[in-house]
Amino acid sequence: MIKSVAIQGIKGSFHHIVSKHYFGDQVAIHECLSFDKAVQCLLNKETDAVIMAIENSIAGSIIPNYALIDSHNLCIVGEEYLDIQHHLMALPNQSIDDITEVYSHPMALLQCKAFFKTQPHIKLIEDKDTASVAQRIQSKGLKNVGAIASTLAAELFQLHILAKSIQTIKHNETRFVIVKRENHEIPEADINKASLKFELEHKRGSLAAMLNVMSDCKLNLTKIQSLPKIETPWKYAFFVDVTFEDLKNYKKAKAILKIMAQDFKVLGEYKNTKH
Amino acid sequence: MIKSVAIQGIKGSFHHIVSKHYFGDQVAIHECLSFDKAVQCLLNKETDAVIMAIENSIAGSIIPNYALIDSHNLCIVGEEYLDIQHHLMALPNQSIDDITEVYSHPMALLQCKAFFKTQPHIKLIEDKDTASVAQRIQSKGLKNVGAIASTLAAELFQLHILAKSIQTIKHNETRFVIVKRENHEIPEADINKASLKFELEHKRGSLAAMLNVMSDCKLNLTKIQSLPKIETPWKYAFFVDVTFEDLKNYKKAKAILKIMAQDFKVLGEYKNTKH
């Protein structure tokens, strides 16, 4: 079992919720200001794992996080899906009419814009994080101020939820990955998903040929994303996730794909948690 | 010829540069605070076209902009690629040592973080836009303040460039699309690229079968992106761009793909500008 996990943000953040789901409550949380810093902690062996949002149903893939995993040769060892729900919260005994200012991350404010149109007395102010505003409201006893954060943040910082699920798009499913320096712990019997990266020359049918091998070997594609390589015109990188029932089939596909593609790389082999 | 084009941001922004490349200088620029507002202008017939960043080599696809085009049934009628270069600028006769504060969009600040580490006397402050800071420096005659913006912004607002191309990743190629309400203007002889969207059941080999048809009909894939449909588990939407030499082959592929996929939709048929 690991001792510590680095997350982007502070306790009460969505990354913290994912850590609780995945690791339980016995692991130390290493709060980091950015994904870059969390990865640095992992590389310096200050922590044993990092949790990283990797894609969501509103914005798609978070390419800079793929790049962090890829460029530092880290391993994806697991995944978690979370439906992101934003709640408006404040000190107890405050009503929504008492709130004059709400501080939050620009993305959270944007996602809740429609709700705040119905509350014209509230001024929206950008802040660097969602959960840290909740923390500040508690520690400084800030009246008339609201935060947009998770139910976990409301519990941790003893705030009262004034309005639930105030984001405009009601479902924002976000996929998080658990990342380590190496992977030598998952029993083969548990592996039924893999994240792959490969490059192809821009030749007609080259991707179709790769997908045919995957299909022939009974791999199911759950994600595909092309990314042009800027330094090398007409060369493309692909990030692909596959699920499978039989590890033998996956190993066979991997052996063939390695020969067909350039720079074929396994970013992680782990257990699928999406059913 | 169109009379007016809506852009996100103000004159001097990267969207304005794209407009100059595509439409020249005779078209009125409709400055909008967000992509949503720009699309609203188009729908209300206040403008004839919208320019929208759609993907870049750092962050990948800008999914919310795909969603705007798709949900309002707009048409992509053209594209432009731009290599985004960020420059530090200020009033003339100021040196970099005179600058104590730089205001810019959080994304621009992030992309130039490494440069500012070498300038510890400069405080970085988030602002809502890049070009509007340049405009403010000129209109208010702000000394000791810097903006991060384009050479066009420096020209328009008569600022002096103190440091060129200060972004950490030297090439950030961004693809912009030109979007209209309808498309009935591009001569068939000019069409050699198309943006497609389709949905597939999560059945093994379903995407490979689509790509095989494209390959058989001599279409070249220049982009592919899957997006899970949150309301419908195991259903995926795909955004695909293809180029081709012979329109007949494309039309044949389109006829077959329409039958194979669910909700097959053409987002645009236009001229490829990437060579």
Q: For residue A111, give every residue at least 6 positions away whose Cβ sits within 8 Å of its Cβ, in sequence order, or none.
A: A58, A86, A167, A168, A169, A172
- Statement to judge: residues B96 and B208 lie in one domain: no
- Statement to judge: residues B37 and B95 lie in one domain: no
| A4-8 and B87-90 strand pairing | unpaired
Kindly tell me if the per-residue pLDDT of A233 is higher than 70: no
Q: What is the chain A residue with the closest CA to B110?
A: A34
Kindly tell me if the per-residue pLDDT of A234 is higher than 80: no
**Count of domains forming chain A:** 3
By residue range, what is the domain housing residue B45? 4-82+172-180
Q: What angle do CA B209, B210, B215 make, to 5 degrees?
A: 95
Contact check, Cβ <8 Å, A207/B230? no
What is the ipTM metric for this complex? 0.76
Give dist(CA B214, CA B219) in Å, integer: 5
| A193-201 and A235-243 strand pairing | antiparallel
Give dist(CA A125, CA A104) in Å, integer: 7
Q: What is the chain A residue with the closest CA to B244?
A: A204
CATH of the domain at B264: 3.30.70.260
Residue A263, Cβ neighbours under 10 Å: how many?
A: 12
Tokens of B133: 């800071």
Distances (CA, A) of A117 to A94, A111, A133, A148, B127: 20, 12, 21, 15, 22
pLDDT at B64: 83
Give which of A48, A52, A6, A1 is closest to A26, Cα–Cα. Answer: A1
Instruction: Indicate whether A8 belongs to any domain.
Output: yes
- Statement to judge: residues B19 and B56 lie in one domain: yes
- Statement to judge: residues B134 and B97 lie in one domain: yes
pLDDT at B12: 95
Binning pLDDT at 50, 70 and 90, where does residue A16 land? very high
Kindly tell me if the per-residue pLDDT of A184 is higher than 90: no
**Per-position b or e across A10-26, b if 16+ CB within 10 A of its CB:** bbbbbbbbbbeebbeee
Q: What is the chain B residue with the closest CA to A61?
A: B60
Instruction: Indicate whether B65 belongs to any domain.
Output: yes
Q: Which amino acid appears at position A49 of this protein? A: A
Instruction: Indicate whether B48 belongs to any domain.
Output: yes
Q: Which residues of B touch A (CB under 8 A)?
A: 57-61, 63-64, 106, 126, 171-173, 202, 204-205, 207-208, 211-212, 214-215, 218-228, 230-231, 238
Contact check, Cβ <8 Å, A57/B228? yes
- Statement to judge: residues B46 and B109 lie in one domain: no
CB-nearest to A224 from B60, B171, B226 is B226
Q: Do B262 and B199 contact (CB within 8 A), yes or no?
A: yes
pLDDT at A232: 63
For chains A and B, CB pairs below 8 A equal 91
- Statement to judge: residues A35 and A60 lie in one domain: yes
User: B71: which chain A residues are within 8 Å (Cβ-Cβ)?
Assistant: none
Task: Point out the least confidently predicted range of A137-146, A265-274, B107-116, B171-180.
Answer: B107-116
pLDDT at A269: 96
Write out pLDDT tens, residues A64-84.
898 899 989 999 999 999 999
Instruction: Indicate whether A152 belongs to any domain.
Output: yes
Instruction: Indicate whether A275 belongs to any domain.
Output: no
Phi-psi region of A259 (alpha: psi -120 to 50; beta: other; left: phi over 0): alpha
pLDDT at A59: 73
Give which of A126, A133, A88 is closest to A110, Cα–Cα. Answer: A126
Taking chain B (275 residues) in runs of 10, the rounded mean pLDDT of each run is 91 95 95 92 96 84 87 95 94 96 86 91 87 96 96 96 92 91 87 95 87 94 81 76 96 96 94 86
Instruction: Indicate whether B259 belongs to any domain.
Output: yes
- Statement to judge: residues B19 and B52 lie in one domain: yes
User: B126: which chain A residues are within 8 Å (Cβ-Cβ)?
Assistant: 126
pLDDT at A94: 95
Q: Which residues of A touch B (CB under 8 A)?
A: 57-61, 63-64, 106, 126, 171-173, 202, 204-205, 207-208, 211-212, 214-215, 218-228, 230-231, 238
Q: Do A18 and A80 contact (CB within 8 A), yes or no?
A: yes
Phi-psi region of A22 (alpha: psi -120 to 50; beta: other; left: phi over 0): alpha
User: How many helices, marked H, and strands, marked E, lie in chain A?
Assistant: 9, 15
- Statement to judge: residues A44 and A94 lie in one domain: no
pLDDT at B173: 84
Q: What is the chain B residue with the closest CA to A172?
A: B230
- Statement to judge: residues B68 and B9 lie in one domain: yes
Kindly tell me if the per-residue pLDDT of A122 is higher than 80: yes
User: A205: which chain B residues are within 8 Å (Cβ-Cβ)?
Assistant: 211-212, 215
Contact check, Cβ <8 Å, A57/B227? yes
Kindly tell me if the per-residue pLDDT of A34 is higher than 90: no
Q: Would you mind telling me the total number of residues written for chain B in this entry?
A: 275
pLDDT at B129: 84
CA dihedral A122, A128, A132, A133 (to 10 degrees): -10
Give dist(CA A182, CA A185) in Å, integer: 9
Any bridge partners for residue B234, and if so which?
Answer: none
pLDDT at B234: 61
pLDDT at A119: 95
Write out pLDDT tens, residues A36-75.
999 999 999 999 999 999 988 777 788 889 889 998 999 9
pLDDT at A231: 61
- Statement to judge: residues B62 and B176 lie in one domain: yes
Q: For residue B91, give every residue at least 6 positions away whose Cβ sits within 8 Å of its Cβ, in sequence order, or none.
A: B137, B138, B141, B142, B143, B159, B160
| A173-180 and A49-56 strand pairing | antiparallel
Q: Do B75 and B177 contact (CB within 8 A), yes or no?
A: no
Q: Do B121 and B97 contact (CB within 8 A), yes or no?
A: yes
Question: What is the biggest distance separating any 2 CA atoms in chain B, rounded to whole angstroms?
Answer: 65
CA dihedral A190, A194, A195, A199 (to 10 degrees): 150
Tokens of B117: 């580490």
User: Three-class SS of residue B63?
Assistant: helix
Question: Of B180, B209, B232, at which residue does a domain stop?
Answer: B180
Backbone angles phi, psi at B207, to 5 degrees: -75, -40
- Statement to judge: residues A232 and A246 lie in one domain: yes
Instruction: Indicate whether A109 belongs to any domain.
Output: yes
- Statement to judge: residues B205 and B75 lie in one domain: no
CATH of the domain at B34: 3.40.190.10
Write out pLDDT tens, residues A86-110.
999 999 999 999 999 999 987 788 8
Instruction: Indicate whether A168 belongs to any domain.
Output: no
